[in-house]
C-alpha cells in the first residue's frame, strides 16, 4: 500500500498501535529499492496478518523523508506503538529481511506474560529467566503462599530490574528478621506507599551495614514501581539520598 503525507498518521502511526507497520521509503529511480521491494513484499506476505507493509515515495513525500531523516534509500523503518522500533538502510538479502521482520513479532514469552496466570508465568520464566515482567508477578504469587525460597530463586535470575532487586531485598530482610520492618511491610502491602517509605527511611538511619543496603534496595524498588512521573517517588529519592549521604 502506498502511503502519503496525508495518510501517514492513520496508516502508520495509529495502525502501529495494533500491529507492527514496516515502512519502505523508496523512489522510482532507485535500483536497490526495486531489488528490496519484492523481498519485503514476499516476506511480509508469509507473515500474513502479523505485520503490515507500506511504501512511501520519498520524491513525492519530501516532508516525510525529512521528518524521518532519510539520507539514503531504500530505508526501512518499522513502527510499533507509534514510534520507530527498528530500521535498516540499503538492499538486504532475504534471510536478513526475514530476521528483521521476525524480531518485530511477539515472542512466545510475550504471549505468556500477557496471559498472566501462574502456569503461563512459570513457562515464560523457563524460556527467559531474566525477564522481569514474568519473574516479578510469579515471585509475588509464590511469596503470597509463603514459598520464599522459590520466590528468591526466581528473582535472583533477573538482572537490571530495580523492582525485582527490591523484592529480593525484602525477602532477605524478612529472613534475617533484623531490623523489624513489619509495620513498613504491612503498609506497603496495604497500598500505603507513603507510610511504608517513611518507615523504611526511618529504619535506614539506624540499620547496620548489611541491613542498611537491603533497606536501600527495597526503597529503590518501591520507587521504581511508583514510576518516574510519581511526585512521591521524586520526593522520596531526595530523602533517600539525604539518608544515605
Residue 172: CB atoms within 10 Å: 17
Q: pLDDT at position 131, please?
A: 94
Residues 6+ apart with CB under 8 A from 79: 12, 13, 16, 20, 21, 22, 23, 85
* Per-residue pLDDT tens digits for 61-71: 999 999 999 99
Q: pLDDT at position 65, please?
A: 95
Could you say which architecture CATH assigns to the domain 8-102? 3-Layer(aba) Sandwich (3.40)
DSSP character at residue 60: T
Residue 191 above 90 pLDDT? yes
Domain ranges of the chain: 8-102, 108-244
pLDDT band at 2 (very low <50, low <70, confident <90, very high): very high
Q: What is d(CA 45, CA 24) in angstroms, rounded to the nearest whole number?
A: 15
What's the average model confidence in pLDDT over 18-41? 96
Q: pLDDT at position 112, please?
A: 95
Phi–psi pair at 50, nearest 5 degrees:
-105, -30
Q: What is the mean pLDDT of the chain?
A: 95
Residue 14: CB atoms within 10 Å: 13
* Per-residue pLDDT tens digits for 93-141: 999 999 999 999 988 899 999 999 999 999 999 999 999 999 999 999 9
Q: Between these two residues, 48 and 38, which has the higher pLDDT value?
A: 38
Provide the pairing of β-strand 75-80 with 21-26.
Answer: antiparallel
What's the average model confidence in pLDDT over 199-215? 93
Q: pLDDT at position 107, please?
A: 86
- Single pTM value for the model: 0.68
What positions carry a catalytic annotation?
30, 33
What's the average model confidence in pLDDT over 34-50? 94
Can you tell me which residue has the cell 532475504?
94
Fold of 108-244: 1.25.40
Q: pLDDT at position 228, please?
A: 86
Q: pLDDT at position 171, please?
A: 96
Provide the pairing of β-strand 75-80 with 83-89.
Answer: antiparallel
Classify 87 as helix, strand or coil. Answer: strand
Residue 245 above 90 pLDDT? no
pLDDT band at 184 (very low <50, low <70, confident <90, very high): very high
Q: Could you give the count of Cα atoms lying within 13 Å of 236 in the half-sphere of its Cβ?
A: 27
Q: pLDDT at position 49, please?
A: 85
Amino acid at each position: 500500500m502506498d502511503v502519503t503525507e496525508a495518510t501517514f498518521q492513520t496508516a502508520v502511526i495509529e495502525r502501529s498501535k495494533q500491529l507492527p507497520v514496516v515502512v519502505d521509503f523508496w523512489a522510482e529511480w532507485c535500483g536497490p529499492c526495486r531489488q528490496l521491494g519484492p523481498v519485503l513484499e514476499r516476506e511480509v506476505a508469509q507473515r500474513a496478518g502479523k505485520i503490515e507493509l507500506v511504501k512511501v515515495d520519498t520524491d513525492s513525500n519530501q516532508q516525510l523523508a525529512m521528518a524521518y531523516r532519510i539520507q539514503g534509500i531504500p530505508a526501512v523503518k518499522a513502527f510499533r506503538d507509534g514510534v520507530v522500533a527498528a530500521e535498516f538502510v540499503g538492499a538486504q538479502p532475504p534471510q536478513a529481511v526475514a530476521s528483521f521482520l521476525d524480531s518485530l513479532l511477539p515472542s512466545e514469552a510475550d504471549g505468556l506474560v500477557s496471559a498472566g496466570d501462574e502456569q503461563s508465568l512459570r513457562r515464560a520464566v523457563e524460556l527467559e529467566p531474566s525477564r522481569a515482567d514474568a519473574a516479578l508477578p510469579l515471585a509475588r504469587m509464590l511469596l503470597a503462599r509463603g514459598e520464599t525460597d522459590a520466590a528468591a530463586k526466581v528473582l535472583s535470575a533477573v538482572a537490571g530490574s530495580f523492582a525485582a532487586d527490591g523484592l529480593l531485598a525484602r525477602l532477605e530482610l524478612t529472613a534475617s528478621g533484623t531490623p523489624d520492618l513489619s509495620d513498613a511491610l504491612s503498609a506497603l502491602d496495604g497500598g500505603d506507599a507513603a507510610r511504608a517509605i517513611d518507615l523504611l527511611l526511618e529504619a535506614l538511619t539506624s540499620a547496620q551495614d548489611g541491613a542498611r543496603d537491603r533497606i536501600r534496595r527495597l526503597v529503590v524498588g518501591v520507587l521504581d514501581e511508583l514510576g518516574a512521573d510519581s511526585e512521591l517517588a521524586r520526593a522520596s529519592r531526595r530523602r533517600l539520598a539525604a539518608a544515605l549521604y
